[in-house]
Every structure is written in structure tokens, then in C-alpha cells.
A and B are shown apart, each in its own frame.
Chain A
């Protein structure tokens, strides 16, 4: 079945860019999502990209999709301490009614 993999930790300095990477296995995945989870809270949808796009920008967030390599990345420009959280990559499959989540990347932002 579909597998979504992410690195577990990333540490950056405040003001630097953060890049969180994700790979997925099901080439038929149509939508790919990035969620953010802060302590004690559920997952908050940050952004998503359709599989026929290769880039999407939304303010400080840039999503890059390499469909050939099944690789997705999330770049956060000018990272702030408030960006410290767990970031989940997710892929929709099975006709778009099921979503498989990665294990999450914990982002630490050092002041």
C-alpha cells in the first residue's frame, strides 16, 4: 500500500529557510497535503498541491512536487519561533477518500 516517509527532525535558526522533505510511493496520489501540529492541538491544514502542478507558493510557504521521483517538499521562508511544530506530509489515494500521513517532521527553531 501507500507509504509516506519524512525525516523526523529538523533544526534551523530563526530567520533561515526551512525545507522539510517527504517521499510517497503511490504514483496515483492526486492531492498532497502539508499539515502543522502544535503541542496539544490537532492537525491544521497548511497547504496542498494537486499532482499536475510542480510548485505552489503561499506567502512564506513554497511547496515543490517532483512527480517523477514522488518527492514533495515544504519550504518555509524566514522561519520564526512560532513555526516550531510537527509538520505532516499526507497523500490522498483510493479515489481521494483516504489520506495516508507520514510520521511527521519535528521542526525546532532556535532564536
Chain B
């Protein structure tokens, strides 16, 4: 079946603009995660959604970052007033909603802030 789909695959924008990144999880996966991967770095956890529970936003680096998940499926990560340090690959993953399920990743959105 289809894997995790992210769009756009690449985004170049000017500093100060807002951007929206989209993630379409695997059908039936109730858990959805956003990570940030800066050049040559590991994965930085941003936010986690599980079913209808309140999201775990503990990894969001500032109030310029927000995410929502509509209808328990598609998620959008929004970065307002982008800064150059926001340049990174943003990865989305999904999993079944029970404990210890492995996460399945999309190919990411490469965000470049000029």
C-alpha cells in the first residue's frame, strides 16, 4: 500500500514568509510524528499526534511553529515568519496507535530559507 506522503518535496522561500508543510500518513495509522533534521544532524522531535488526544508539542522550538491534524489523518506543519535557521529537512512519520510500533517515514520536505 501507499507509504507516508509529504509535500512539497522541496520548498524555497524568503526569510519572513510563512510556510505550510503537509503530511499524509499511512491509512489506519493513528499516530503521527514530525521531526526536523538539520544538515548532518540527527532527528529532532517536534510534535506527536495520537488519535483524538491532545498533541505532545514539547519539541516545538518556538511559537512560530504549529501543527494540526484534521480528521485524524492529514497533518500540516506551519512555520510563521521563517528564519534562516529553520532551513532543514522536515520528516513526518506515522505508526499504529499501540505502544512500541515502529514508525514509517516519508521522504521529507527540504526547506530552504533565503
A contacts with B: majority SS: strand
Determine if A92 and B91 form an interchain contact, defined as CB atoms under 8 angstroms apart. Answer: no
- In angstroms, Cα B41 to Cα A104, docked, is 8
Shortest Cβ distance from B4 into chain A, in angstroms? 7
**CB neighbours of A100 from chain B (8 A):** 45
| CB-based A-B contact count at 8 angstroms | 52
Determine if A40 and B107 form an interchain contact, defined as CB atoms under 8 angstroms apart. Answer: yes
Determine if B99 and A99 form an interchain contact, defined as CB atoms under 8 angstroms apart. Answer: no
Shortest Cβ distance from B111 into chain A, in angstroms? 14
Interface string of B28-42 (1 = CB under 8 A from A): 000101010000011
Of A45, A95, A97, A101, the contact of B102 (CB 8 Å cutoff): A45
* Given A31-B100, A42-B4, A42-B91: A98 and B45 interface contact (C-beta under 8 Å): yes
Closest chain B residue, CB of each to CB of A40:
B107
Please report the total number of A residues contacting B with Cβ < 8 Å.
23
**CB neighbours of A43 from chain B (8 A):** 43, 91, 93, 103, 105
Closest chain B residue, CB of each to CB of A38:
B107
Answer whether residue B25 sits at the interface, using C-beta atoms and an 8 A cutoff. Answer: no
**CB neighbours of B48 from chain A (8 A):** 97-98
Cross-chain pairs A/B with CB under 8 angstroms, 29 sampled: A30-B100, A31-B100, A33-B102, A35-B105, A40-B107, A41-B107, A42-B4, A42-B93, A42-B105, A42-B106, A42-B107, A42-B108, A43-B43, A43-B103, A44-B105, A48-B102, A88-B42, A92-B99, A95-B99, A96-B98, A96-B99, A97-B48, A97-B99, A98-B45, A98-B48, A101-B35, A101-B42, A101-B43, A103-B41
Q: Chain A residues in contact with chain B, CB under 8 A?
A: 30-31, 33, 35, 40-45, 48, 88, 92, 95-104
